[in-house]
Copies of this chain bind each other. A is one copy, B any other.
Amino acid sequence: MDFLIHVDQSSGVALHRQIYEAFRGAILSGRLRSGEKLPSTRALSKSLGIARATVTMSFDSLLSEGYIEAAVGAGTFVSRSLPEDLMRPAMETGDSGSLSDPVLKAATPKVKARSRGRKRKDGTESIVSTGEPSAVQGYRLSWYATALRSREWLSFSPDEPNVQLSFGRPAMAEFPMRVWNGLLLHHARKRNLALLDSPANAAGFRPLREELAAYLSRVRAVSCQPEQVIIVNGSQQGIDLVTRVLIDRGDDVCIEDPGYIGAQKAFEAQGANILPIPVDKNGIVVDKLKQHEREREGFSPQLVYVTPSHQSPTGVVLSVPRRLELISWAKRVGAYIVEDDYDSEYRYKGRPIPALAGLDHAGTVIYIGTLSKVLFPALRLGYLVVPLDLAEVFTRAKWLADRHSPLLEQQVLADFIRMGHMERHVRRMRNLYEQKRKLVIEALKTHFGGAATVLGDAAGINVVVRFPSELSDDEIVARAKTAGIGITSTSHCYLGESPRGEFQINYAHLKEDAIDSCIGTLSKIANASRI
């Protein structure tokens, strides 16, 4: 055997490990062939000048991992059970060990290209691995993944501007973080494993589900049992679970247009047949739903998705007559209403309107609650309230999705609500945000005069404003970015044609004294001419 082993006493790598690596590499690269005999541990230890026990240790590893095998009384051999096609190329080409990736090269000659086309008949996509140029093989992705890849995706700048108007962030600086962190540490110190493991707990930490049921009854006039509450990782997971439980490819789904992009993308990726329903100053236009009903025999969409408290993005509040009309329509056609009750906490004119889930008691409404806008987005906690007969299937879907949401935050949140911190915080923020909203509206009047139109009602944590400009939306966004302002046009929320010059201003987290100058800058940008 002319196989040389080098060991380097000064390399810092244990000697037995070096010997192991040397043999393993030689076997994988084909330099040592299947069935070839290895030197004895005695001979090797002598020739290398190291302890036999060290060599034995390496051989034990190689044995236990199947690279080599021992025949009683005959010695040690490279394992015969290693796949032959793995070894062949090295033997055929006489390659003596320069292969950087023997496994890959070995397998290449036998690779069959599975499908090189881009699109298959059923709409799924074949992809060509970009990993290695020599490995031309096709893998197919699911219809879902293909939909995700083929559609336009969201892109936001990763840079953080001085003033960020694009995202619905709460006023984090006002959050009672000391209280929260106190509870966090309290529960972190006594983490209790026994609270876990049971599939029944996929629906969430029971005391939190109880607190949320009581909270919803107090503030949203929703009467539900804790069994109907499913804790999820923010409203997006709520939307996702609803999508999976209710929608098959080709199913009719009605959504607001313009509407919330996170829901729209989820329904699209599931293959829903999206029916865009316009929104007016009273919210989703139920007459349009009725028109679909009249015009299509047996019309029976799986669901209608709405953001009634503060329509996303326009900011209108779904009026009570519309709410009742919507429920009545949904019952008639057998559609679920998916009520994304985003921004429900903040209404500055009158009390918050009771949720759809509070107006209906017949199991037509699936309620999605978010806490990201009330507490803080990084929390990743939200909840669903589902009709009782769907609680089990949603719990199973949640279990399969990720077992359960993180327990620690659920414990903290349960205490936070129980002790009254949540409602106290919401009350404080309602006053603060109302004040900030006024400043935004005033600044718009000051700088744009009558040119800027504020859409929507006095609610939520953002306003949508429309103003004329010679510049395109993209140009306005780009110039604002240069001026240190992050702003997003609502055009990506529209399914059909979108109006020009419509932007969302999220004000909850803005510093009061920054509002005026920020709007001033925007007005200068809007009034600039094209160059």
What is A's interface to B at a CB cutoff of 8 Å? 28, 60-61, 64-67, 79, 81-83, 85-86, 100-101, 103-104, 106-108, 110-112, 114-115, 122, 124, 127, 129-132, 135, 137-145, 148-149, 153-158, 160, 166-167, 169, 172, 177, 180-181, 184-185, 188-189, 191, 193-200, 232-234, 236-237, 240, 244-248, 251, 262, 265-266, 269, 282, 300, 302, 319-322, 324-325, 327-328, 331-334, 336, 349-351, 353, 359-364, 376-380, 387-390, 392-393, 396-397, 399-409, 509
Contacts and interface: CB of A to CB of B under 8 A. Distances in A.
A246 to B, nearest CB: 6
23 contacts: A79-B321, A82-B321, A107-B327, A107-B328, A107-B332, A110-B331, A122-B248, A130-B389, A131-B389, A132-B361, A139-B334, A142-B251, A145-B245, A145-B397, A155-B199, A158-B200, A184-B188, A193-B378, A232-B402, A240-B400, A378-B407, A380-B403, A380-B407
Given A28-B324, A127-B389, A129-B387, 14 more contacts: A65-B320, A79-B321, A83-B324, A85-B328, A104-B362, A107-B362, A110-B328, A132-B361, A137-B334, A137-B362, A140-B302, A141-B390, A142-B248, A153-B396
A283 to B, nearest CB: 10
Question: Counting chain B CB atoms within 10 Å of each CB, which of A251, A393, A400, A405 scores highest?
Answer: A400
Nearest to A327: B103
Contacts of A362: 101, 103-104, 107, 129, 131-132, 135, 137
Of all A-B residue pairs in the complex, the 8 with the closest CB atoms, nearest first, are A131-B363, A114-B334, A66-B319, A237-B402, A233-B402, A64-B350, A145-B245, A83-B325
A170 to B, nearest CB: 9
A91 to B, nearest CB: 15
Nearest to A16: B351
Given A66-B321, A83-B325, A334-B114, A131 B361 contact: yes
Contacts of A166: 197
Contact of A388 (B61, B131, B328): B131
A464 to B, nearest CB: 19
Given A132-B362, A167-B197, A196-B378, A393 B64 contact: no
Contacts of A262: 400, 403
A228 B498 CA distance: 36
Contact of A191 (B200, B236, B378): B378
Given A193-B169, A350-B61, A104 B135 contact: no
A363 B66 contact: no
Nearest to A104: B362
Copies of this chain per assembly: 2
A42 to B, nearest CB: 21
A363 B132 contact: yes
B245 A156 contact: no
Contact of A236 (B180, B361, B402): B402
Given A65-B350, A124-B248, A328-B86, A404 B388 contact: no
A380 B398 CA distance: 13
A245 B125 CA distance: 11
Contacts of A364: 129
Nearest to A240: B401
A184 to B, nearest CB: 6
Question: Counting chain B CB atoms within 10 Å of each CB, which of A110, A143, A193, A409 scores highest?
Answer: A193
Contacts of A135: 331, 362-363
A117 to B, nearest CB: 13
Contacts of A185: 181, 184-185, 188
